[in-house]
Amino acid sequence: MLFTSYFCSVNIMTRHLGDDSSEICKYLIKRCPNSVRLQRSRTYNGAELPAELPIHTLLSHLQHKTVKEVVVSLLRVYPESYGVVHKQRVPSSDPFIQRIKHLLDEERELKENVSYLEKVSCVFQNAVGGTENPSSLASSTYNVFGSWSTSFVQLLQARKEQILSELQAECNVEEEQDREHAIDE
C-alpha cells in the first residue's frame, strides 16, 4: 500500500511540480525507505516494460527544483541506485546527479564517523565509570578523548551543514545551466 502511494506521489509530482508534492514524496521516503528499492513494472499496449526505480521516473524531470530535492532524498536512502540502469539510462549520467554524488558520499561518511565516535565515547565512558580511582590514567585518558571527540564531532557537524547548503544550492541551479552542462559533455 505504501509503495503504491509512493509511486502515485512520484507520478503526481512529475505532473504537478509543487512544494506539497515534493514534501509528500520526501515524507514517504523517510517513513518507508525500503520502498525506493522496489522496482515497478508497467505495461504499454499489452507489452511489459522493464521495471524501473522511482529515481528513473524522475530523471526526465530534473530541471525542476522540487524533483531535484526528492532525488537527493532518494539517493540518501538508496545510494546504490546511482548506477542502476533502466532503458539504457543510468542516474550517474545526469549532470545534476554527477554534481551531487560526492556531496552525498561525504555526508554519509560524516554521519558514519559521528555515529562511530559517539559509540566509542559511550563505551569508553562506561569502561572508565567502573574504575575506583577517578584520577586514574583511564579517567584522564577518557577526559582527553572525550574532549577531542566532542570537538571533532562539532567540526563534522559543521561540515554536514555546509554540505546541506551546497546541496540546496545545486537544487536551485536553473534548467538552462543543466542543459548546457549536458551538451558540453
Task: Kindly report, residue by residue over 76-100, the tens digit of the pLDDT.
Answer: 999 998 888 887 788 999 999 999 9
> What was the pLDDT predicted at 11?
58
> What was the pLDDT predicted at 134?
63
> What was the pLDDT predicted at 1?
40
* Residues of the chain under the 50 pLDDT cut: 1-5, 182-185
> What was the pLDDT predicted at 76?
94
> What was the pLDDT predicted at 133?
67
Distances (CA, A) of 180 to 51, 62, 65, 69: 30, 14, 17, 20
> What was the pLDDT predicted at 85?
84
Domains in the chain: boundaries:
2-93, 102-171
> What was the pLDDT predicted at 19?
62
